[in-house]
Amino acid sequence: MREELLSVFIIAEAGVNHNGDADRALAMVDAAKAAGADAVKFQTFSADKLAAPGAEKADYQKRETGEGNQHEMLKALEMSEDLHHRLIARCGEVGIEFMSTPFDEEAADFLVASGMARIKIPSGEIVNHPFLRHLAAKDRPLIVSTGMATMEEITDAVAVIAETRAKHGLTAPLDQVLTILHCTSNYPAAPSDVNLRAMRTIGEVTGMPVGYSDHTLGLAVSTAAVALGATVIEKHFTLDVTLPGPDHRASLTVEQLSDLVRQIRDVEQALGSSVKAPTAAELPVRAVARRSVMARTALPAGHILTEADLILLRPASGIAPRFFHTLPGRALQEDVAAGQPLTWDLLSGEAMI
């Protein structure tokens, strides 16, 4: 994905914040496009294939959704095939990439057959090697989240993906088709638990481009991740943070999502090229902010300059201060006024550059 991503790829994570409502899901596509995101992402799963009956909820899910078990919660959030097709069509109409995270092989097969361009692998599946092999054989770019994972588990997953692609004759360089997302799997995640510097470790160890899946509140951590080199940013959003559901309160509003996109694009431009040189916009400022050598008092032609004759003042319209030490002992070729910038043509001897 490295060559493909000329700028940070921003995924607006709708997830399950549609609450099972088709109209809300479609409205989230429109909102993600209006905010400027590159893709809007949902989740494709069957509760029966994801959680055992009676499976306990995570603490944050209990806090946000109340009683009941994980299977019951997921069942209410499933999306039908028809809704998937409607979402894909709406994405095509408005011009935003459709994505959905598959949680089982059948879901992955359906999404790829429906034309999904890239596959997002959720944090919980990074140690599910049979599933990773199934996805890696699809010849689609992969984005892998790493919440809860150790570095060893991440390198194991990368190895499984690489081996599977090789086995199936997929020859594109791995760093062009695989992106690893640093992630902290808590909703919301505290900034003190984020450890953004782990992005660098992941990149150095795996050799893969790295992004960030952000579960913190607000915008700061995502923009900081971009400054640290993230090529992909994924962030949950909702149409209404007061809605019931597991993820709404840890999600951005649509307005915040728009702000995040703008901030990321600003940071991208601010990062620049790494070459230190004055910009074209700085050059007029440089002329007035820097000093040059001027005559402290009126001096006649033929006068031999001493340090006492010279003063460094703005603007930079005369000889640069770095040549100050070469001027004493030179003779003036003509009269100069007090405060007049000295230029090489006014002095005896060789000009210096």
For residue 51, the Cα-to-chain-centroid distance in whole angstroms is 32
Q: Is residue 74 assigned to a domain?
A: yes
Domain co-membership, 254 together with 335: no
Q: Residue 271's pLDDT is what?
A: 94
Per the structure, the complete domain to which residue 85 belongs is given by 9-271
Q: Residue 3's pLDDT is what?
A: 39
Domains contained in the chain, number: 2
Per-residue pLDDT reduced to its tens digit, 141-180: 999 999 999 999 999 999 999 999 999 999 999 999 999 9
Q: Is residue 68 assigned to a domain?
A: yes
Q: Is residue 3 assigned to a domain?
A: no
Q: Residue 62's pLDDT is what?
A: 80
Residue 224 — pLDDT band, cuts 50, 70, 90? very high
More confident of the two residues 64 and 195: 195
Report the residue count for the chain: 353
Domain co-membership, 165 together with 299: no
Q: Is residue 296 assigned to a domain?
A: yes
In angstroms, the CA 31 to CA 253 distance is 10
CATH number of domain containing 262: 3.20.20.70
58 pLDDT higher than 60: yes
Domain co-membership, 191 together with 61: yes
Residue 352 — pLDDT band, cuts 50, 70, 90? confident
Strands (E), the chain: 9-15, 39-44, 97-102, 119-121, 142-145, 178-183, 210-214, 232-236, 292-295, 310-313
Residue 4 — pLDDT band, cuts 50, 70, 90? very low
Under 8 Å CB-to-CB from 89, ≥6 apart: which residues?
none
Residue range 2-30: mean pLDDT, rounded: 88
Residue range 291-306: mean pLDDT, rounded: 98
Q: Residue 1's pLDDT is what?
A: 41
Domain co-membership, 100 together with 44: yes
In angstroms, the CA 12 to CA 14 distance is 6
Per-residue pLDDT reduced to its tens digit, 273-286: 899 999 999 999 99
Domain co-membership, 214 together with 326: no
Share above pLDDT 70 across residues of the chain, in percent, rounded to a whole number: 98
Q: Residue 344's pLDDT is what?
A: 98
Q: Is residue 1 assigned to a domain?
A: no
Domain co-membership, 81 together with 212: yes
Q: Is residue 276 assigned to a domain?
A: no
Residue range 306-313: mean pLDDT, rounded: 98
> Pick from 228, 243, 271: which residue ends a domain?
271
> Pick from 271, 295, 313: which residue ends a domain?
271
Q: Quick check: 119 and 178 in contact, CB under 8 A? A: no
In angstroms, the CA 246 to CA 24 distance is 16
Q: Residue 6's pLDDT is what?
A: 59
Q: Is residue 139 assigned to a domain?
A: yes
Domain co-membership, 64 together with 167: yes
Domain co-membership, 241 together with 289: no
Q: Which of 26-35, 70-79, 143-152 has the lowest mean pLDDT?
A: 70-79
> Pick from 226, 246, 271: which residue ends a domain?
271
Where residue 82 falls (left for φ over 0; alpha for ψ -120 to 50; beta otherwise) is alpha
Domain co-membership, 145 together with 169: yes
Domain co-membership, 315 together with 181: no
Q: Is residue 151 assigned to a domain?
A: yes
Q: Residue 59's pLDDT is what?
A: 82
CATH number of domain containing 296: 3.90.1210.10
Domain co-membership, 104 together with 239: yes
Domain co-membership, 215 together with 303: no
240 pLDDT higher than 90: yes
